[in-house]
Chain A
Amino acid sequence: MTYLFSSYSRKLITLILLLSLVPIFVISGYLYFDKVETENNNLKERLLSISGIGADNISQWIEQRKMNIQGIADNQVMITETQKLLDPDVGIDESFIARFNLEKQINTAIHGYDWLQELAISDPQTGDVIFYTGLSFPDDNLYGEQHFQDAVNRKVGISKVQPSVNTIKNEYDKYDKDVPTLLISVPISGEVGVEGILTASVNIFKINPHVKSYLAEFGSADLYLVNSNGFFISKSTFPQTLLDLNLITERPELELQILKPQSQQFTDIFRDSKMNGTAWNLDGYHNYLGNLVVGSITPVIGTEWSFIVEVDKNEAYQEIYLLQTVLLTLIAILLSVTFVSSYIFANNLVDPIKTLTKTVQDIRTGKKEATINPKLLESEDEVSVLAKTFDSTFRELQESQQQLLKTKNEQIDNLKEIDTAKAEFLTMISHEFKNPLFPIMGFSQMLQKPKFLGELNSKQLIALEKILKNAKKLDSMIINLLDIQQLELGTMKFNYVKFKVDDLMRDVCKKFESKMIERKIQLVNTTRDHIVIQSDELRIKQIFSHLIENAIVFVPKENGKIEICAQETDDTVLFYVKDNGVGISKDKHEDLFKKFYQASRGHKRVHGGVGLGISICKGIIEALGGKIWVESEPGKGASFYFSTPKTKEEGNKNENIGN
């Protein structure tokens, strides 16, 4: 769902599709349901008319047969001769003549009645059969039969369909046994009452042409007549499948019942008919073969039969199915066309926006050559106006940005100039400070030696010593200032050489030997590892000097102790300078490495210097690719650690080497 509305073009396409769907569905739905209704009505009418007319025909046929038989019975000869036959006073001869007359009369009467098989006359009092045509009659006595009793009561009686006893013609005009037959009994009425009962055996197969007469209406129609128990009486077709499926042994009549094969219950339409008489089913139901059919059923008046017509559902709804297919295809085509056209339309509408967005993105990601597509500016629509507005805004912005950039660059250039001037000035000043120091130191040293300018007394020598010491201090301060300047500007030069750390540590100790004796401080070198590294030896010595000078300031006057050490780790060397001085509280550890820190804290400045030493150490060790830190607590001394890579490659590669 979110996908459908994730862009304008998709929104448009969805909207157009939705809008077009409504009329498409309304029209096609109207067409479809209208057609279905008409078709259903047509189908219902056709089915009902077939079953109705079929039932009518059968009914009339039966009525005609009844009338035919009644006609035979109503003949004067029949009445008179029946009277004679039943009269016990009539002699055998007269009775014989009566039989002869009857036979003659019947033969004349039944001429052309191919449906008539046998005729019998029985005694209305006893039911005994006293006369019959043909070789035999199924029953000797008819008293118990309903049709007989009906005839006694001056009505036409009709029996249930039953298999013939005699061999009679079947539907193919072949002589056959067990052909379904029907008995019709009529009274032979004289002037005084019922003289006798005429019972005729009717060959049901003669109904067949009437059942078949509507077959042409539907190709796959199945028309049949069933009795109240659902047994077939007559059938329009004789499918070989019934035999193949063992549903029947000879013929469907009186053998096959209209039961659903799955449940062995009456088919839906027959069940409905049992309750309502005439019935139809257009939704489709399973017939006695299990096929899905539509159909209708009409009871045959005057009998307990029903006339059924069934048509394959697919055939019956052929037109509707065709309409369905046509409509679906039409909808599919319409939707495709709508989709394609809405896609093109939406893209046409959205493309300029996309182009504009792309340009804005390009500008945002810094593509300087990004400009609005000129095509966008040509038209007069809303997007074009937006593009034009954006274009001018963008140009203005570009101009002001360039102006800003220019100003900024000028300012940066100015600052750089000032910075360079400052650095140059500081370097110059430092050098200038150094210059007067050289003669001071040189002449002082010369005065110390009698061979140059004669001997001085001891007080003069002490004074001279102090002059020289302070001159040296000033010299080292100037050197520190120069160093810090170089570290800041990144112009400090480093000489990478391979050297033994043992030697370095020994040199450091040696350098401070006299100073330590003078100050009664114990300086211990606890280095055990024999390490060779590639680094700047002089600079590392410089770090040690600064750290030791720093330690000297803080160790106690009595029993001052400083330990220096170098330890090898995987690819670095760890150095430390440990003292037993006053220590530094943790919150000041970071500040230690800031420039001029010592100068700004209210510490008693025992040692000269402006607090550059540790800051220089940090600058140098970082330029060498190492790091420096302190571990200390007030009253527990301080330990300054610094590590440096063993080889130049592992260290900082950016520093400039001797240029």
Chain B
Amino acid sequence: MKILEIDDNQDLLDLSELALTSVGHEFICADNGREGLELIQKQQFDVVLLDLSMPDFSGLDVLDGLDKNGILNKQKIVVFTASTPSEQEQKILLEKGVHSILSKPLDPDELIEHIEKINSKPEI
């Protein structure tokens, strides 16, 4: 699978790369929202992992950018949050077209399991 992760924390990107490549996935990363948005516009990914809280250009800005270009629905986007989001926030994110929401911190095994579950499930 071709996976893109957008996060301003380089160490977390390294962690995900280590975990995901170890089970044979292709891992591409971007350390800021703008670069991530450009990458998604250029190529198709199987899963995009997006951190919501980033300085300058946040995860929500990325989602808005994708929405404007009309490619939000074509991407499977998993959102990371540092704090547990309320039901209302979850609802808004899911309505925007986000596939699922994960809370940090995440066990590497849980991450792998979650991503593999996405692709085995047929899209509605």
Q: Which residues of A contact B (CB under 8 A)?
A: 431, 434-439, 441-443, 445-446, 449, 451-453, 475, 482, 493, 495, 538, 657-659
Contact of B105 among A441, A453, A657 (CB under 8 A): A441
Q: In the complex, are the beta carbons of A445 and B107 less than 8 A apart? A: yes
A447 to chain B, nearest CB (A): 10
Within 8 A of A (CB), among B73-88: 82-84, 86-88
B105 A438 Cβ-Cβ under 8 A: yes
- Separation of A621 and B46 alpha carbons in the complex (Å): 44
The 7 A-B residue pairs with the shortest CB-CB distance in the complex, in nearest-first order: A658-B88, A439-B11, A493-B86, A658-B86, A442-B15, A441-B105, A438-B105
Q: Which residues of A contact B53 (CB under 8 A)?
A: 431
Say whether B105 contacts A442, CB under 8 Å. yes
The answer to whether B83 touches A482, judged by C-beta atoms less than 8 angstroms apart, is: yes
Is there an interface contact between B18 and A452, defined as CB atoms closer than 8 Å?
Answer: yes
B87 touches A452 (CB 8 A): no
Which residues in chain B, 97-123, are within 8 Å of chain A measured between CB atoms? Answer: 104-109
Q: Which residue of B lies closest to A437 (CB)?
A: B105
A453 to B18, CA, bound (A): 9
Segment 51-68 of B: residues with Cβ below 8 Å from A: 53
Main DSSP-derived SS at the A contact region: helix
Does B41 touch A at the CB level, under 8 Å?
A: no
- Docked-complex contact A439 and B109, CB < 8 angstroms: no
Structural contact, A658 and B87, CB atoms closer than 8 A:
yes
What CA separation (Å) do A437 and B11 show in the bound complex?
Answer: 10
0/1 interface trace, chain B 1-22, chain A, CB 8 Å (1 if under)? 0000000010110110011001
- The answer to whether A434 touches B109, judged by C-beta atoms less than 8 angstroms apart, is no
Q: A493: which B residues are within 8 A, CB to CB?
A: 86, 88
B33 to chain A, nearest CB (A): 16
B15 and A446 form a contact (CB under 8 A): yes
User: In whole angstroms, how far apart are the Cα atoms of A226 and B123 in the complex?
Assistant: 148
For the complex, what is the distance from the CA of A434 to the CA of B53, rounded to whole Å? 12
A435 touches B105 (CB 8 A): no
Could you tell me the distance between the alpha carbons of A436 and B84 in the complex, rounded to whole angstroms?
Answer: 18
A-B contact pairs, 7 of them (CB 8 A): A438-B12, A438-B105, A438-B106, A443-B11, A449-B109, A451-B22, A452-B108
A431 touches B82 (CB 8 A): yes
B95 part of interface (Cβ distance < 8 Å): no
User: Shortest beta-carbon distance, A99 to chain B, in Å?
Assistant: 162
Complex CA distance for A493 and B83, rounded to whole angstroms: 12
Chain B residues packing against A (C-beta within 8 Å) = 9, 11-12, 14-15, 18-19, 22, 53, 82-84, 86-89, 91, 104-109
Query: What B residues does A431 contact at CB under 8 A?
Result: 53, 82-83
In the bound assembly, the distance between CA atoms of A438 and B9 in angstroms comes to: 9
- Known contacts: A434-B104, A449-B108, A451-B22. The answer to whether A442 contacts B12 by CB under 8 A is yes
Q: How far is the CA of A449 from the CA of B112 in the complex (A)?
A: 13
- Interchain CB contact under 8 A, B108 and A442: yes
A538 partner residues in chain B, CB cutoff 8 A: 84
| Pick from B18, B86, B109: contact of A495, CB under 8 Å | B86
Q: Is A435 within 8 A of B86, CB to CB?
A: no
Assembly CA distance A451 to B107 (angstroms): 14
A495 and B105 contact, CB distance less than 8 A: no
Contact residue among B12, B19, B86 (Cβ-Cβ distance under 8 Å from A452): B19
Pairwise interchain contact B22-A452, C-beta atoms closer than 8 A: yes
Inter-chain contact B82/A658, CB cutoff 8 Å = no
Closest to A482 in B: B83
A657 to B86, CA, bound (A): 9
Whose C-beta in chain B lies nearest to the C-beta of A446?
B108
Closest chain B residue, CB of each to CB of A657: B88
In the assembled complex, how far is the CB of residue A74 from the closest CB belonging to chain B, in whole angstroms? Answer: 156
State in angstroms the CA–CA spacing of A493 and B87 once bound together: 9
Q: How far apart sit A451 and B105, CA to CA, in the bound complex (Å)? A: 20
Complex alpha-carbon distance, A622 and B117, angstroms? 40
Known: A493-B88, A658-B88. 7 other contacts (CB 8 A): A438-B11, A438-B105, A441-B105, A443-B11, A449-B108, A495-B86, A657-B88
Partner of A443, one of B15, B104, B106, B109: B15
Q: Within the assembled complex, what's the spacing in Å between the Cα atoms of A423 and B48?
A: 33
A659, B108: Cβ atoms closer than 8 Å: no
Taken together as a complex, chains A and B put the C-alpha atoms of A441 and B15 apart, in Å, by: 10
Q: Report the bound CA distance from A493 to B84 in whole Å.
A: 10
Complex Cα–Cα for A475 and B104 (A): 11
Residue of B with least CB distance to A451: B22
Whether the Cβ atoms of A659 and B22 lie closer than 8 Å is no
Residue of A with least CB distance to B13:
A439
In the assembled complex, the CB of A439 is this many whole angstroms from the nearest CB of chain B, namely 4
Chain A: CB-nearest residue to B108 = A446
Q: CA–CA, A183 to B108, complex, Å?
A: 167
Once A431-B82, A438-B9 are accepted as A-B contacts, the answer to whether A446 and B87 lie under 8 Å apart by CB is no
* Cα separation A445 to B11 with both chains bound (whole Å): 14
Residues on A with beta carbons closer than 8 Å to the beta carbon of B9: 435, 438-439
Closest beta carbon of chain B to A208's beta carbon, Å = 130
Closest Cβ–Cβ distance, residue A537 to chain B (whole Å): 11
Q: Are B82 and A435 in contact (CB under 8 A)?
A: yes
B residues less than 8 Å from A434 (CB atoms): 82, 104
Say yes or no: A438-B104 contact (C-beta < 8 A), given A431-B53, A659-B88: yes
The CA of A510 and the CA of B36, in the complex, are separated in Å by 41
A568 CA to B18 CA in the complex, in Å?
Answer: 51
A481 shortest CB reach to chain B, Å:
12
Q: How far is the CA of A431 from the CA of B91 in the complex (A)?
A: 23
| Chain B residues positioned under 8 Å from A449 (CB to CB) | 108-109
